Structure 1
Amino acid sequence: MSNSPWQRTAFSVGPLCMTAYGLIRLTDEEHGPGLAWSSGHLFFLAAVSCFVPVVLGMRRAVAAGRGRAGRALAGAGAVTALLGIASVVAQAAIDLVAGFLSEDREAMRELFRRVKSHAGVEPAVYTVGPLLFHVGLLLLMTQLAALRRIAAWRPVVVVAGIVATGVSLDLLPAAGLLFLLAFAPLGRQLEEPERRPLTATASPGR
């Protein structure tokens, strides 16, 4: 089954929105509240939301033509990534609401402290939960590379983007561009995977 035009576009729009968020964040010296905080987090929310069709498209490509174990592994990667996406969406929503409700940075800090004081919120939304997004993406990308659906360097580029965000959030623009390099062509490349031989050697363009 072919990806819809929106699904194909999401492979590029998601990383581009991530890059935009990173650039806007660099202009926000106080890191909220204000126009930069709100607009940046709207791009952040859009970026993460775009990865829902990306994850589903990769899962379909990984699972096509494989046995039960292969489909289960593809499903595990997709579920892990989607759980991570849900966590990051919750984080972005909390940040947006905090920005709208707070008059200054100190008021935002207090609101964040109150939110995180609820049992389970911090690991689910701010620490463990978001990591699942990266783990799921890497599981799917690695499986695609193992099946020779994509070139082996693409998962490596994704790892570089993840490491960049871990080193400093100021590197988000670079991470977004790395994600764009890794994901942008895949919307069309992974179309109708069941009609393409999974063992075919990746072309130089991949």
Structure 2
Amino acid sequence: MSRIAFHLAPALMLAYGVVRLIDGRDGQHGPGPAWTVGHVLFLGSLLLYGGVIAGLYGRVRAASGGTASRVAAGVTTVLAAVGLAAFVRVAVIDIVVGLRAADAAEKSMLADRYADVPAVLPQAIYEIGPVFFMLGLVALLVQFAVTAPGRKAVAVMSPVLVVLGFVAITINLDLLPAGAALIWLALVPHTRDQVPSSPARPETSARVAA
């Protein structure tokens, strides 16, 4: 399932970016069918990024040789997961707002009303929460690049491409399809690269030879 997530998560993000461009042809984004469809695609992408995070965590753990590296991977994974949960909250609220709003003015009003839902944390935490997902994903890719055996150039390029993708999206949301494509390129190698299994112990080899 995690292999599928490495493809589908950025693919759905790219699709959301395309739908968003279509939605904005009249100069505004939502509410309406395009807004709802786009954010449902975005929500699906975010949920699949959970599989990406889990898959990267498993790869880093398998490639790590020490306890410190595995603890660092665990902390990074928690950071990414917390940020992802904040991102999911944003997508869900956007879907609800889009379904309830009759026009752009009401959409803006409802967005302000739901800005601190659920009201258990300061609004600022909700606003910066998604950044943790981006930082955590990049950090996991960096940890894998450091610990993974072989094909170092491919492993090193993955976090670079993801950073470029996030930078493009941050500069202008209209660049979301391009940013998603860069992230997709970064994750593709992780659908096929496997950490080599440990060599057989001498006594095991001897038994097989016998």
TM-score of the aligned structures, taking structure 2 as reference length: 0.84
Query: Who is 1:201 aligned against?
Result: none
Which letter does structure 2 place at the counterpart of 1:59? Y
1:177 aligns with 2:176: no
Q: For the Cα contact (< 8 Å) 2:60–2:148, is it kept in 1? A: no
Distance 1:90 1:173 in 2: 22
Write the deviation string for residues 17-47 of structure 1: whole angstroms up to 9, x where unpaired.
0000001000112211101000000110011
Counterparts of 2:138 and 2:4 in 1: how far apart (Å)? Answer: 20
Q: Report the CA distance between 1:117 and its aligned residue.
A: 5.4
The equivalent residue for 1:135 is: 135
Query: 1:8: which partner in 2?
Result: 3
Corresponding residue of 1:195: 197
Identity %: 38
> Does the aligned pair in 2 maintain the 1:115–1:121 contact within 8 Å?
no
Choose which of 44, 47, 50 in structure 2 pairs with 1:49.
47
**What letter corresponds to residue 36 of structure 2 in structure 1?**
S
Q: Give 1 or 2 for the bigger CA radius of gyration.
A: 2
The alpha carbon displacement at 1:112 in A equals 1.1
Higher relative contact order by CA 8 Å / sep ≥ 6: 1 or 2?
A: 1
Quick one: which of 156, 164, 185 aligns to 2:160? Answer: 156
Amino acid at match of 2:137: L
Question: By how many angstroms is 1:55 displaced?
Answer: 0.6
Q: Give the Cα separation in 1 of the matches to 2:58 and 2:182.
A: 23
**Cα distance change on mapping 1:196 and 1:91 into 2, 3 Å:** farther
Q: Determine if contact 2:43/2:88 at 8 Å carries over to the other structure.
A: yes
Aligned counterpart, 1:79? 78
Contact 2:57 2:73 survives alignment (8 Å): yes
**Structure 1 residue runs without a partner (length 5+):** 1-5, 198-206
Deviation at 1:122, TM superposition (A): 3.0
What's the CA shift string for 1:127-151, capped at 9, x where partnerless? 2100000010011000111123552
**CA 1:79–1:117 in structure 2 vs 1: closer, same or farther (change >3 Å)?**
closer
Contact 2:14–2:176 (CA<8 Å) still a contact in 1?
A: yes
For the 8 Å contact 2:5–2:52, the answer to whether it is kept is yes
The answer to whether structure 1 residue 36 and structure 2 residue 38 are counterparts is no
Taking structure 1 as the reference length, the TM-score comes to: 0.86
CA distance in 1, matches of 2:198, 2:7: 23
Whole-Å Cα distance in 2 between the matches of residues 34 and 57 of structure 1? Answer: 35
Cα 1:196–1:95 shift into 2, 3 Å: farther
Of stretches 107-116 and 32-41 in structure 1, the one that deviates more from structure 2 is 107-116
Determine if contact 2:31/2:103 at 8 Å carries over to the other structure: yes
Judged with a 3 Å threshold, the aligned counterparts in structure 2 of structure 1 residues 51 and 196 are, in CA distance, closer, same or farther, namely farther
C-alpha root-mean-square deviation of aligned residues, in Å? 1.7
| Structure 1 stretches of at least 4 aligned residues deviating more than 6 Å after TM superposition | none
Aligned length: 189
Distance 1:167 1:38 in 2: 23
CA 1:142–1:87 in structure 2 vs 1: closer, same or farther (change >3 Å)? same
Q: Is the 8 A contact 2:2 2:54 kept in 1?
A: no
